[in-house]
Amino acid sequence: SHAVTKPAGGPFPEGFLWGGATAANQVEGGHAEGGKGLSIQDVMPQGVMTPPTEGATEDNLKQVAVDFYHRYAEDIALFAEMGFKVYRFSIAWSRIFPNGDDEQPNEEGLAFYDRVLDELEKHGIEPMVTISHYETPLNLARTYGGWTNRALIGFYERYCRALFERFGHRVKYWLTFNEINSVIHQPFLSGGIPAPREELTDSDLYQAIHHELVASGRVTKLARELAPAAQIGCMILALPVYPLTPSPDDVVAAMDTAHASYAFGDIHCRGEYPGYLLRYFRDNGIELDVTEQDRADLKNTVDFVSFSYYMSICESADPDAASGPGNLMGGVSNPTLKASEWGWQIDPQGLRVVLNDYWERWQKPLFIVENGLGAKDQLVEVDGVKTVEDDYRIEYMNDHLVQVREAIADGAQVLGYTSWGCIDIVSASTAQLSKRYGFIYVDRNDDGTGTLDRYRKKSFGWYRDVIASNGAAL
Q: Which residues belong to the active site?
A: 370
Residue type, 178: N
Determine, following the binding rule CB under 6 A, whether residue 420 of this chain makes contact with ligand BG6: yes
User: What is the closest distance, in whole angstroms, from the C-beta atom of residue 228 to ligand BG6 in the complex?
Assistant: 28
User: Computed over its alpha carbons, how large is the radius of gyration of the chain?
Assistant: 21
Which three-class secondary structure string do you get for 266-294?
HHHHHCCCCHHHHHHHHHCCCCCCCCHHH
Q: Which of 63, 136, 139, 429 binds ligand BG6 (CB under 6 A)?
A: 429
The DSSP bridge partners found for residue 75 are none
Determine, following the binding rule CB under 6 A, whether residue 444 of this chain makes contact with ligand BG6: no
Phi, psi of 246 (to 5 degrees): -75, 0
Determine, following the binding rule CB under 6 A, whether residue 374 of this chain makes contact with ligand BG6: yes
Determine, following the binding rule CB under 6 A, whether residue 308 of this chain makes contact with ligand BG6: yes
User: What is the closest distance, in whole angstroms, from the C-beta atom of residue 434 to ligand BG6 in the complex?
Assistant: 11
User: What is the closest distance, in whole angstroms, from the C-beta atom of residue 313 to ligand BG6 in the complex?
Assistant: 14
Q: Which of 18, 20, 23, 140 binds ligand BG6 (CB under 6 A)?
A: 23
Determine, following the binding rule CB under 6 A, whether residue 183 of this chain makes contact with ligand BG6: no
* Segment (H or E) for 429: none
Spatial CA neighbour of 98 closest among 46, 55, 38: 38
How many Cα atoms are found within 13 Å in the side-chain-facing hemisphere of 268?
Answer: 34
User: What is the closest distance, in whole angstroms, from the C-beta atom of residue 410 to ligand BG6 in the complex?
Assistant: 25
Spatial CA neighbour of 135 closest among 149, 156, 150: 156
Determine, following the binding rule CB under 6 A, whether residue 422 of this chain makes contact with ligand BG6: no
* CA pair distance 309, 179, nearest whole angstrom: 10
Determine, following the binding rule CB under 6 A, whether residue 28 of this chain makes contact with ligand BG6: no
Considering the complex, state which of residue 316 and residue 427 has its C-beta at the smaller distance from ligand BG6. 427
User: Exposed (0-12), middle (13-18) or buried (19+): which is 418, by Cβ within 10 Å?
Assistant: buried
User: What is the closest distance, in whole angstroms, from the C-beta atom of residue 161 to ligand BG6 in the complex?
Assistant: 25
Cβ burial 106-134 (10 Å sphere, 16+ → b, else e) = beebbebbeebbebbeeeebbbbbbbbbb
Determine, following the binding rule CB under 6 A, whether residue 466 of this chain makes contact with ligand BG6: no
The site that binds ligand BG6 (CB under 6 A) totals a number of residues, namely: 15
Q: Which of 60, 94, 148, 178 binds ligand BG6 (CB under 6 A)?
A: 178
Q: Which residue's Cβ lies closest to ligand BG6?
A: 429
Which region among 11-19, 283-291, 346-354, 425-433 touches ligand BG6 (by CB under 6 A)?
Answer: 425-433
Which region among 27-35, 75-83, 201-209, 423-431 touches ligand BG6 (by CB under 6 A)?
Answer: 423-431
* CA pair distance 429, 131, nearest whole angstrom: 20
User: Exposed (0-12), middle (13-18) or buried (19+): which is 380, by Cβ within 10 Å?
Assistant: exposed
Q: Per-residue x/- marks for ligand BG6, 114-153, CB under 6 A?
A: --------------------x-------------------
Q: Which of 370, 377, 390, 399 binds ligand BG6 (CB under 6 A)?
A: 370
Determine, following the binding rule CB under 6 A, whether residue 428 of this chain makes contact with ligand BG6: yes
Quick count: other Cβ atoms within 10 Å of Cβ 149?
19
Considering the complex, state which of residue 230 and residue 237 has its C-beta at the smaller distance from ligand BG6. 237
Residues that bind ligand BG6 (CB under 6 A): 23, 26, 134, 178-179, 308, 328, 370, 374, 420, 427-430, 435
